[in-house]
Structure 1
Amino acid sequence: MIGQFEWMKKKGRVSRLVFISVMLTAMLLHSADVYGASTASRVSAVLASNGAAPLNDIGSHWAKQAIEAAVAKGYVKGYPDGTFKPNKEVTRAEFVKMVADSLHLPVKPSVAGTKWYVPYVSSLKAAALLQDSDLGAAWDGQMNRTEMSKLLVRGTDDAVRGKKLTDGEALYKSASAGLIGGHC
């Protein structure tokens, strides 16, 4: 059965928008009110609390509502210049941070001399969502769907949390749960 999902194994890159879509889908499995009437006001409050300007590059974007919902929920943030850059590809380090933030995992302060993302990696490992073999070696390299699937499946399926997943298993489980599709 896993063979039918081989087409999904291509190393497609993950954009900020793909991350939002996947996280909102995953969170919808566990909560309600993603698109509440007060989403716009929550986005404004979140951006103001972060010292960020309103997102000026999503006004006519087809995913504006999903982006605003993700910002309001604290899954992602805009850039200090007031942009969101929905099509920007996400690095492994950025993805790990966004997952930790979106799941509200405890993150210890970083230690001087370490990379900024190390506390987020440690947080995901402590939560049994990430294993050393899950991601490529280059943390500044682009995240792909297979890597993303492993983290998301463990985050949404307690039966596999902490367990090693093959690429095929992760893709099959994430597609079966509706977390990813063929054109991510």
Structure 2
Amino acid sequence: MKLIGKTVWTSLLLVGIAVVQNGGSESEVLRLHVAEAAAKSAPASDYANHPAKDAISHGLQKGYLWKYPDGKFHPEQTVTQSQFVASLVAIRQVSEKESVPALPAGHWAKDIYERAQKAGILANVPVNPNKLLTKEEAALLVFNAWKPFRGEKNPNLSNTGALITWGWMKAAPSGQPKFREDLPLLRGDAAEILRYLWTDKWQLEQGAKYAEEFHRSLKIVNGNIVGKVPKGDGDFMIIAMFVTNSNGRKGFLNNQNFNVPMSQVKYMTFFVTNKNNSSDAGAFQYTNFPSFDRIDKGQLFHTPRGENK
């Protein structure tokens, strides 16, 4: 393969990681091992004082971000489509594939793009691995990748506006329209967005675990709803809230047992909240007793979390 500038080489490095995991030529494997070893041994001089330093370090540690072969991250360069797609695929841990006709057989990006296609990440996205992304183009990829987790965004906002309102993307610099979509997305800013995604996926997985534990505890005993709120850990506040027929409230927190007369209950809600950032990690509503049918209320992506800080 012929390398044409740093942008293509970086894309090759990112996509190549997935190729190695699924088999590849010995020369490819050797080249990628050499590049990866060089990146790990090099100093973090180009992002040590960058505002996104922690996000970059997190992504490199977790394996969804990669350095250039020169051992630097280059946080002030614009992220390419293939770089961002590769990170989303890594965070989603996509293994299955679907054909991407826009890329010919043997194309260096085909493996990763086929995974992205299967995961729905490329919906309404023109395939162009070397394209330098604007904020709006990156935001569309984010919402595509996150539909299985958070559902739909606020329809009254652009993808950029929704992410900024959500708190996952920085607003435009002072003096410019806040939701300006055409600005380039720099690699440092991309690292911060991707850390939000990684954290959200992790916390949703924890929330689902606690929701199942709670659900299994529910019983009807002598006409009462009986169960226990999971103990959880120090990162999460877990709440079971009963709304009575008179619109009263009875709440129970981490590790508390409850015994509530079913005849008094209008509905019950279950929440898991990340205490570190007040974001929701799970939300369910129970309206039918004694069947304990539940509705997942945590899928909406347009609940504002305040301004980006």
Range into which the TM-score falls when normalised by the shorter chain: 0.5 to 0.7
**Equivalent residue for 1:153?**
143
**Equivalent residue for 1:134?**
125
Task: Give distance in 1, aligned partners of 2:34 and 2:110.
Answer: 27
Task: Give distance in 2, aligned partners of 1:77 and 1:166.
Answer: 33
Residue identity matched to 1:50: E
Q: Which structure's relative contact order is higher, taking Cα pairs within 8 Å and 6+ residues apart?
A: 1
SS at match of 1:153: helix
Question: Residues 120, 71 of structure 1: CA spacing in aligned structure 2 closer, same or farther, 3 A cutoff?
Answer: same
Residue identity matched to 2:146: T
SS at match of 1:69: helix
Task: Give distance in 2, aligned partners of 1:63 and 1:48.
Answer: 26
Question: Residues 60, 176 of structure 1: CA spacing in aligned structure 2 closer, same or farther, 3 A cutoff?
Answer: closer
Residue identity matched to 2:76: N
Structure with the greater alpha carbon radius of gyration: 2
C-alpha contact (below 8 Å) 1:70/1:76 kept by paired residues: yes
Question: Residues 59, 80 of structure 1: CA spacing in aligned structure 2 closer, same or farther, 3 A cutoff?
Answer: same
SS at match of 2:70: coil
**Equivalent residue for 1:50?**
36
Question: In the alignment, which of 90, 111, 117 is matched to residue 101 of structure 1?
Answer: 90
TM-score by length of 2: 0.36
C-alpha contact (below 8 Å) 2:121/2:141 kept by paired residues: yes
C-alpha contact (below 8 Å) 1:97/1:117 kept by paired residues: no
Instruction: Name whichever structure is richer in helix by fraction.
Output: 1
Question: Residues 65, 172 of structure 1: CA spacing in aligned structure 2 closer, same or farther, 3 A cutoff?
Answer: closer
Q: Does 1:115 align with 2:107?
A: yes
SS at match of 2:78: coil
Q: In angstroms, what is the RMSD of aligned CA positions?
A: 3.3
Residue identity matched to 2:73: F
SS at match of 1:156: helix
* Percent of aligned pairs sharing the same letter: 21
Instruction: Name whichever structure is richer in strand by fraction.
Output: 2
The Cα of 1:181 is off from its aligned counterpart by 2.9
SS at match of 1:50: helix
Question: Residues 150, 167 of structure 1: CA spacing in aligned structure 2 closer, same or farther, 3 A cutoff?
Answer: farther
C-alpha contact (below 8 Å) 1:129/1:155 kept by paired residues: yes
Task: Give distance in 2, aligned partners of 1:116 and 1:138.
Answer: 12
TM-score by length of 1: 0.57
The Cα of 1:144 is off from its aligned counterpart by 1.2
The Cα of 1:48 is off from its aligned counterpart by 10
**Equivalent residue for 2:70?**
81
The Cα of 1:60 is off from its aligned counterpart by 2.8
Task: Give distance in 2, aligned partners of 1:72 and 1:145.
Answer: 25
The Cα of 1:125 is off from its aligned counterpart by 1.4
Residue identity matched to 2:79: V
Question: Residues 121, 113 of structure 1: CA spacing in aligned structure 2 closer, same or farther, 3 A cutoff?
Answer: closer
